[in-house]
Amino acid sequence: MHAYRKDYPRPQMVREHFELLNGAWEFAFDDNDKGHPEKFDRRIQVPFTYETESSGIGDETFHPVVWYRRTFQVEGDRLQGKRLLLHFEGVDFEAAVWVNGKLAGGHRGAYARFTFDITELVSDGENELVLRAKDNYDMAVPRGKQRWKDENFGCWYVQTTGIWKSVWMEYVGSTYIRSLKLTPKWGERKVVIEADVAGAESVVERAFGSGCADRKLNLSAEVTFQGKSIRELSCQVICGKATLEIDLDRPDLFEWGLYEWRPDAPGLYDVELVLTGKKGTESESLDCVSSYFGMREIRIENGMILLNGAPLYQRLILDQGYWRESHLTPPNEEALIKDIDAILAMGYNGVRKHQKIEDERFLYWCDVKGLLVWSEMGAAYQFNDDAVEEFTGEWMEVVRQNYSHPCIITWTPFNESWGIGAVKNNPAHQHFTEGIYHLTKCFDPYRPVIVNDGWEHTVSDIVTLHDYEEKGEVFYKRYAEHKDAILSNEVYHCGNKSAFANGYSYQGQPIIISEFGGIAFNEEGGWGYGNKVTSKEDFIRRFDDITTAIKRLPYVCGFCYTQVSDVQQEINGLMDADRHFKIEPEIIREINTRRL
């Protein structure tokens, strides 16, 4: 894509110049929360957390407060008439940031990007940046697969503390495009681009002086596809908001008038957005960003999931995004690409990104390569007023941040009743799930939302079931003969789990087996689901048996196998923790894609 810059952390809104602040920082533990340390006695490689080998520290002990420090350069001439924005892609959990000893701001939540305008805090030359991160074992905050004890247990792993995604900065004008929301209207052959503009009022006096009633602020867009110009359009910015509805119908260029995005042909349109200020015949360019979008529609109709109007059978794999040496942080951009290529090589067309909001570069490469994504929030494990408030705020930050990626086709805020443990019977837990469902649909009415992946659904656009049965014959018989009983809560699946919470019922939604398999196969110790296999032949036989059983069920429109790779003590990956295939990918692909 024209917008692409290697290692650029925000690939759907790219400016020409940016500066990564990753690399060596000074670092200190502050277990007693005494405050700014007199001496930073360690060095750490950002964005890797101190728990990882890649950080240069590799201490898995829990430390509740950590401090970071580094210096950065500001060129005074670049700052003239500009603003300097400091971005943090992810800090777990509570961050406070100082620039030259002055507080720039704070943020709570592990998964979403946050930004500070530090223009008034910097000076020409060297500047100091300090961050304090506070973490906890609180089960009421969204923590995903991070343990809340001193040792790993079950399928929970070493905690992630502090900076775990990129830190970077960029110069912008005093009036600039703050955010974009790109909505494809596939059936109408249109795209809607909504822009939020910061500093829209200040441009009047800065550029033209006071009393400029005829001053206009305009946003223009040019859409291209593989270098061919498709459309240009502009509109006025009003109260810091601009909306462009662009007709993309070009029968002279495309057979259907539109190039659509789908897994086997992930066509992406480039878009260049330019913000200008104008009074009379005078105009000034204020900002320019590059972006892209994909034209696709995901909808549900008659119990089927349709992508661009055609039935979509989803062959998903559960992806936790852990690496041996760097845990939740990808080692580099190439590691993300390698994982995506491996998943595609094994015949999967999508991932259920499990209990993690991945680096946005991962979503970019899924957009480019056509890999479908279910975006799933990290769970809390207690329910109380604070947990509800914390989860709601952070979840909506994530939805806003990643909304425009065409690869995301499903939002999954909850999994297996984690954080809503009494949802089967408790009205408060049920209302919470309904509230999150409707908030998500309010901001994004175009994607399905799965409220409680696995079981005990309340309101949900797709009914998903988890089942780690080892034998294909038993698997098939259970769902072929007892479909109605399972969907009416008369028969449980996955042990003692009901498909719906009490008071809710099946409404004809599509059905997906969204966790199965989890076959443990590794010479080392560890665990998986069911009995461990001891040979390659046994693995293939069992994998084929249960995968084929699901594919034989005519009413099931997809599956999700557990999982991409081994993670710490969990050894049920199709690859080991170092991304070596346990079974040749061609064998897995043939089973996944075989026609019955």
DSSP string, 294-338: ----EEEETTEEEETTEE--EEEEEE---BTTTBTS-SSHHHHHH
Single-letter code of the amino acid located at 430: Q
Q: Please give the sequence-ordered ranges of beta strands (E in DSSP) within 555-595, or none if there are none.
A: 556-562
CB 515 within 8 A of CB 505: no
Length of the chain: 596
- Rounded to an integer, what is the distance from CA 490 to the centroid of its chain? 36
CB 390 within 8 A of CB 141: yes
Partnered with residue 376 across adjacent β-strands are 412
Residues 160, 186, single domain; the answer is: no
Residues 180, 165, single domain; the answer is: no
Q: What is the pTM of this model?
A: 0.96
Residues 246, 153, single domain; the answer is: no
Please, where are the H alpha helices in 181-237? 202-203
Question: In this predicted model, what pLDDT tens digit does every residue of 280-325 receive, in sequence order?
Answer: 777 899 999 999 999 999 999 999 999 999 999 999 999 999 999 9
CB 50 within 8 A of CB 66: yes
Question: What does the pLDDT read at residue 109?
Answer: 97
Neighbouring CB atoms inside 10 A of 65's CB total 21
Residues 379, 285, single domain; the answer is: no
Please name the residue that has the structure tokens 């100091």: 128
- Asked if the structure places residue 213 within a domain, the reply is yes
The region that residue 546 occupies, defined by phi over 0 for left and psi between -120 and 50 for alpha, beta otherwise, is alpha
CATH number assigned to the domain comprising residue 256:
2.60.40.10
**Of 152, 173, 194, which residue sits at a domain end?**
173
313, 376, 375: which is closest to 556 by C-alpha?
313
Domain that holds residue 249: 176-293
In sequence order, what are the residues at sequence separation of 6 or more whose Cβ sits closer than 8 angstroms to the Cβ of residue 424? 417, 456, 498, 501, 502
CATH number assigned to the domain comprising residue 64:
2.60.120.260
In sequence order, what are the residues at sequence separation of 6 or more whose Cβ sits closer than 8 angstroms to the Cβ of residue 398? 111, 112, 357, 375, 377
From residue 537, alpha-carbon distances to 164, 529, 579 in Å are 39, 18, 20
From residue 245, alpha-carbon distances to 85, 190, 191, 325 in Å are 29, 7, 6, 46
- Asked if the structure places residue 305 within a domain, the reply is no
Residues 165, 184, single domain; the answer is: no
Burial classification of residue 578, based on how many CB atoms lie within 10 Å of its CB (0-12 exposed, 13-18 middle, 19 or more buried): exposed
- Rounded to an integer, what is the distance from CA 516 to the centroid of its chain? 22
Question: What does the pLDDT read at residue 145?
Answer: 97
Q: What kind and span of H or E run contains 17?
A: none
Question: What does the pLDDT read at residue 282?
Answer: 79
**Of 122, 140, 173, which residue sits at a domain end?**
173
| Number of structural domains in the chain | 3
pLDDT < 50: residue spans in the chain? 204-205, 210-214
Residues 141, 218, single domain; the answer is: no
- Asked if the structure places residue 299 within a domain, the reply is no
Residues 339, 392, single domain; the answer is: yes
218, 63, 212: which is closest to 135 by C-alpha?
63
* Cα Rg, the chain, nearest whole Å: 25
Residues 274, 165, single domain; the answer is: no
In order, the DSSP letters of 354-381 are TT----HHHHHHHHHHT-EEEEEPPPPS
Please name the residue that has the structure tokens 């018989």: 477
516, 383, 496, 399: which is closest to 447 by C-alpha?
399
- Asked if the structure places residue 4 within a domain, the reply is no
- Asked if the structure places residue 14 within a domain, the reply is no
Whole-angstrom distance, CA of residue 453 vs CA of residue 441: 17
- Specify the DSSP class assigned to residue 448: -
Residues 380, 508, single domain; the answer is: yes
Whole-angstrom distance, CA of residue 456 vs CA of residue 494: 12
**Of 261, 293, 325, which residue sits at a domain end?**
293
- Rounded to an integer, what is the distance from CA 452 to the centroid of its chain? 17
- Rounded to an integer, what is the distance from CA 151 to the centroid of its chain? 27
> 298-301 and 304-307 as β-strands: parallel, antiparallel, unpaired?
antiparallel
Q: Please give the sequence-ordered ranges of beta strands (E in DSSP) within 389-523, or none if there are none.
A: 408-412, 463-466, 511-517
Six-digit token string for 150: 């001193």
Burial classification of residue 582, based on how many CB atoms lie within 10 Å of its CB (0-12 exposed, 13-18 middle, 19 or more buried): middle
Residues 241, 338, single domain; the answer is: no
- Specify the DSSP class assigned to residue 207: I
Coil, helix or strand for 409?
A: strand
Residues 276, 349, single domain; the answer is: no
Geometric angle at alpha carbon 364, from 345 and 418, rounded to 5°: 85
Residues 289, 211, single domain; the answer is: yes
Whole-angstrom distance, CA of residue 147 vs CA of residue 160: 9
Question: What does the pLDDT read at residue 212?
Answer: 42
Question: What does the pLDDT read at residue 81?
Answer: 87
Whole-angstrom distance, CA of residue 215 vs CA of residue 207: 10
Coil, helix or strand for 497?
A: strand
CATH number assigned to the domain comprising residue 381:
3.20.20.80
- Asked if the structure places residue 462 within a domain, the reply is yes
Coil, helix or strand for 18?
A: coil
CB 596 within 8 A of CB 582: no
Residue 577 sits at φ, ψ, to 5 deg, of -65, -20
Angle between helices 472-481 and 536-551 (to 10 degrees): 10
CB 350 within 8 A of CB 374: yes
- Asked if the structure places residue 5 within a domain, the reply is no
- Provide the total of helices (H) and of strands (E) in the chain, helices listed first: 10, 31
- Asked if the structure places residue 298 within a domain, the reply is no
Question: What does the pLDDT read at residue 278?
Answer: 80
